[in-house]
């Protein structure tokens, strides 16, 4: 009778364990965030009468003993913070792909241990189309503006050049720089015409 009972108990325990194991194994919340997003995990299972709060992520470990008011943590990422006064919250400021993984929070109380799990996936692509839209539209706008202004400038120059030097013809003569240059030009012309006359006279004699 006693043996039967214990066998039944073991079977029941086994069933219970497998059920709880399965529930625990599957009982994580999937979280898909984009790189750079802030994240907060709220371990909001009843923390009344809690004696210990534990956070685990990979090899990182945080534990807070309520009765001793003692905290140990070897979470080394500067992005991860767990408020020592309210250790049921873990926040990540700007998630990066290396923050992805399974986060577990366990709260031990007089009733036993309760835990919550999050499977964090940090994607680099989810918001990328939006980034592209935000970056590309102004870029394309700027590019169009640049092309338009270049086209306009080209047209202006093209319409001006057939009339000869529009700048020298239209602008009033400026004192200082322009005048000696023009005088030099005239002097050159004079020299040239004198040279031509000389050539003519030489060739004319021949």
Ligand X SMILES: *[C@@H]1O[C@H](CO)[C@@H](O)[C@H](O)[C@H]1NC(C)=O
Element (H, E) at 117: strand 112-123
Residue 19 Cβ vs ligand X, minimum distance, rounded to whole Å: 19
Residue 77 Cβ vs ligand X, minimum distance, rounded to whole Å: 10
Residue 150 Cβ vs ligand X, minimum distance, rounded to whole Å: 49
Summarize as ranges the residues that interact with ligand X (CB under 6 A): 30, 42, 44, 59-61, 69, 74, 102, 119, 121
Residue in the block written with tokens 């029941």: 12
Termini Cα distance of the chain: 150
Residue 72 Cβ vs ligand X, minimum distance, rounded to whole Å: 8
Considering beta carbons, is residue 113 or 143 the nearer one to ligand X?
113
Element (H, E) at 70: strand 70-73
Considering beta carbons, is residue 48 or 158 the nearer one to ligand X?
48
* Tokens matching residue 15: 């069933």
Q: How far apart are CA 60 and CA 75, in angstroms?
A: 5
Considering beta carbons, is residue 102 or 135 the nearer one to ligand X?
102
Considering beta carbons, is residue 101 or 146 the nearer one to ligand X?
101
**Which residues have CB under 8 Å from 77's CB, separation 6+?**
60, 92, 99
Residue 61 Cβ vs ligand X, minimum distance, rounded to whole Å: 4
**Which residues have CB under 8 Å from 120's CB, separation 6+?**
31, 33, 39, 95, 99, 100, 101, 102, 103
Q: What is the CA radius of gyration of the chain?
A: 42
Considering beta carbons, is residue 106 or 203 the nearer one to ligand X?
106
């Amino acid at each position: 009778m006693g043996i039967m009972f214990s066998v039944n108990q073991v079977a029941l325990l086994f069933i219970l364990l497998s059920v709880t194991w399965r529930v625990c194994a599957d009982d994580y919340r999937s979280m898909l965030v984009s790189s750079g997003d802030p994240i907060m995990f709220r371990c909001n299972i009843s923390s009344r009468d809690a004696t210990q709060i534990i956070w685990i992520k990979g090899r990182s470990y945080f534990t807070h003993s309520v009765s001793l008011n003692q905290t140990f943590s070897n979470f080394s990422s500067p992005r991860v913070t767990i408020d020592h006064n309210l250790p049921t919250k873990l926040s990540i400021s700007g998630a990066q792909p290396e923050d992805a993984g399974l986060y577990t929070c366990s709260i031990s109380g007089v009733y036993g241990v309760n835990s919550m799990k999050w499977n964090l996936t940090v994607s680099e692509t989810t918001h990328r189309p939006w980034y592209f839209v935000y970056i590309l539209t102004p870029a394309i706008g700027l590019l169009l503006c640049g092309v338009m202004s270049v086209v306009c400038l080209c047209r202006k120059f093209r319409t001006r050049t057939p009339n000869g030097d529009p700048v020298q013809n239209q602008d009033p003569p400026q004192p200082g720089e322009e005048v000696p240059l023009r005088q030099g030009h005239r002097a050159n012309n004079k020299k040239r015409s004198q040279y031509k006359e000389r050539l003519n006279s030489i060739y004319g004699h021949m």
